[in-house]
């Protein structure tokens, strides 16, 4: 396997390619990543939502790594994983402006891809499966009511694990090794109930769409989605990935 130092050095070239990718291609790759994570979200929901609590979280944790596996192996841009760009940024290998631009574009693309799948699920699957629309609205409502501080901390914990999962995939040069490497960290954050901003883009908008399309009685609004969850979770994800993963690995392996 590649050593941690090798991973840090190899990530510099990865980061340079990311920030040099044209805007249109970055948006398409980010759209795909948002859709991949959303597909993992609905897959884990369908596998687990009728199980009792303990088994439900375990099954969900076993299915959801599909999302990051698709992102890594199929090639796409995920906002939470790209928080690792801070390491080569601190080494002055990539400029601040291009780093910020990449993160902003990827976030927007992830959002559009997630909303796209959420709309399709609300129009099709939620219409065909009894009780699924109500369940999706309940999940979105619970997330929107976490509270700013709680959502922020859960976001930190989540992206520590997600960025470590991405970092670990670069230890292997085989597809199987990459999947095995990312599986446990992603399963861990799902089982623990940590908050992932891109996954929540799907969950929250699926709830919003189901509330309107299927007339589910709830008080979920767009402001609840954006301010009640996405804002604090996104900030927490940034702190978790940038401060607690990218920063220490830069200090240990890349700082001159």
Question: What is the SS3 assignment for the chain?
Answer: CCCHHHHHHHHHHHHHHHHHCCHHHHHHHHHHHHHHHHHHHHHHHHHHCCCCHHHHHHHHHHHCCHHHHHHHHHCCCCCCHHHHHHHHHHCCCCCHHHHHHHHHHHHHHHHHHHHHHHHHHHHCHHHHCCCHHHHHHHHHHHHHCCCHHHHHHHHHHHHHHHHHHHHHHCCCCCHHHHHHHHHHHHHHHHHHCCCCHHHHHHHHHHHHHHHHHCCCCCCCCHHHHHHHHHHHHHHHHHHHHHHHHHHHHHHHHHCC
**Structural domain boundaries enclosing 142:** 4-254
The number of folded domains in the chain is: 1
Q: Is the pLDDT of residue 179 over 90?
A: yes
Q: Is the pLDDT of residue 196 over 90?
A: yes
Q: Is the pLDDT of residue 245 over 90?
A: yes
CATH number at residue 64: 1.20.1080.10
Confidence of residue 105 (pLDDT cuts 50, 70, 90): very high
Q: Is the pLDDT of residue 52 over 90?
A: no
């Amino acid at each position: 396997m590649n050593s941690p130092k090798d991973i840090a050095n190899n990530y510099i070239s990865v980061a340079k390619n990311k920030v040099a990718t044209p805007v249109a291609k970055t948006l398409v790759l980010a759209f795909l990543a948002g859709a991949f994570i959303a597909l993992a979200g609905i897959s884990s929901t369908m596998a687990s939502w009728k199980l009792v609590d303990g088994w439900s979280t375990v099954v969900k944790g076993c299915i959801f790594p599909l999302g990051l596996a698709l992102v890594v192996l199929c090639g796409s841009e995920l906002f939470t994983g790209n928080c690792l760009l801070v390491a080569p940024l601190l080494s002055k290998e990539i400029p601040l402006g291009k780093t910020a631009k990449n993160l902003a574009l990827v976030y927007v693309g992830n959002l559009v891809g997630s909303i796209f799948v959420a709309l399709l699920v609300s129009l099709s699957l939620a219409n065909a499966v009894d009780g699924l629309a109500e369940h999706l609205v309940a999940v979105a409502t619970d997330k929107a009511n976490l509270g700013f501080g709680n959502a922020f901390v859960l976001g930190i914990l989540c992206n520590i694990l997600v960025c470590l999962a991405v970092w670990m995939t670069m230890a292997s040069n085989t597809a199987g090794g990459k999947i095995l490497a990312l599986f446990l960290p992603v399963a861990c954050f799902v089982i623990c109930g940590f908050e992932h901003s891109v996954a929540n883009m799907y969950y929250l908008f699926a709830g919003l769409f189901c509330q309107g399309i299927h007339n589910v009685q709830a008080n979920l609004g767009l402001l609840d989605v954006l301010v009640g969850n996405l804002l604090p979770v996104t900030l927490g994800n940034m702190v978790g990935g940038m401060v607690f993963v990218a920063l220490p690995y830069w200090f240990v392996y890349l700082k001159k």
